[in-house]
Amino acid sequence: MDFILEGLVRALDLLLSGDEVTFSAVTATLQSSVLAMIAALALGAPAGFCLGHFEFRGRRALRLAVDTALSFPTVVIGLIVYAFLTRRGPLGEWQMLFTVPGMAAGLALLALPIVIAHTAAGVEGLDRRLRLTALTLGAGPLRLALTTLREARFAVILALAMAFGRVASEVGIAMMVGGNIKWHTRTITTAIALETGKGQFAEGIALGIVLLAIALVVNLLLVLLRRRMA
């Protein structure tokens, strides 16, 4: 137990002293996570609305594919993104491999099915009379979509909370696409794995505390947003 207590003391010291290595990993994590969440919300909310609102051929198969993607192995997502972003890949000229935007692209793919599935479920659970009422009042397609998403806002907020949890705690994608480069693409999770493997237990605890604090703050903000929107 002594080394655990010593690790906790050392971790607090690192955080309070503003250790540059520690906060470099925090910065990379926040940058990639925020970019990934913006992309996932921008693409996933409209896609979830269409999947939950419209009836079309192949809808059930598409819904099954989205639900299956929720449990897609993250290391496979990292492999696919790596193949696209490597110099020999179709997007190699963008030079996004081993960069924060490259990591964000992979993390966005991880978060996208979560946003789509929960948004679609929220839209499906709405009163069917909402669409008829909106159309009767003269709402166009865009206004109808915005009104429906507003009514399904709690499902969207839940999707964001779950997606952020997956994105912020991801290791495989961050390692493969980001490369775990110190001062550049080393995130909290990859740093925890690296430092703990080297026997630097205090650094791992410090980063773990920061990760828990970030998750707590994000969830508190989402709870406050939900209450305000209610």
- 3: confidence class by pLDDT, cuts 50, 70, 90: low
Give residue-wise pLDDT tens across range 95-122.
899 999 999 999 999 999 999 999 998 8
Separation CA 101–CA 81 (nearest Å): 12
Q: Scanning the structure block, which residue is given the tokens 């935007």? A: 101
Residue 42 has pLDDT above 90, yes or no: yes
Say yes or no to pLDDT of 40 above 90: yes
Task: List pLDDT tens digits, range 126-135.
Answer: 777 777 677 6
Please determine, for residue 54, whether its predicted confidence score (pLDDT) is greater than 70.
yes
Name the residue with tokens 């493997």.
Answer: 197
Other CB atoms within 10 Å distance of the CB of residue 192: 22
In whole angstroms, what is the distance from residue 147 CA to residue 131 CA?
Answer: 9
Q: Are 206 and 19 in contact (CB under 8 A)?
A: yes
Q: How confident is the model at residue 2 (pLDDT cuts 50, 70, 90)?
A: low
Residue 31's pLDDT band (boundaries 50, 70, 90)?
very high
Computed over its alpha carbons, how large is the radius of gyration of the chain? 20
Mean pLDDT of the chain: 85
Confidence of residue 229 (pLDDT cuts 50, 70, 90): low
Q: What share of the chain is helix, strand, coil (3-state, %, to 5)?
A: 80, 0, 20
Decide if pLDDT at 212 tops 90: no
| Domain ranges (residues) in the chain | 2-229
- Best CA proximity match to 108, nearest among 166, 194, 50, 68: 166
CA–CA separation, 30 and 37 (whole Å): 10
In percent, the amount of the chain with pLDDT more than 70 equals: 94
Q: How far apart are CA 163 and CA 185, in angstroms?
A: 20
Query: Is 2-229 in CATH node 1.10.3720.10?
Result: yes
pLDDT band at 152 (very low <50, low <70, confident <90, very high): confident
pLDDT higher than threshold 90 for residue 228: no
Closest CA relative to residue 51, chosen from 120, 152, 142: 120
Give the number of other CB atoms < 10 A from CB of residue 5: 9
Q: Sorting pLDDT into bands at 50, 70 and 90, what band is 124?
A: confident
* Residue range 91-98: mean pLDDT, rounded: 90
Residues, the chain: 230
pLDDT category of residue 12 using cuts at 50, 70 and 90: confident
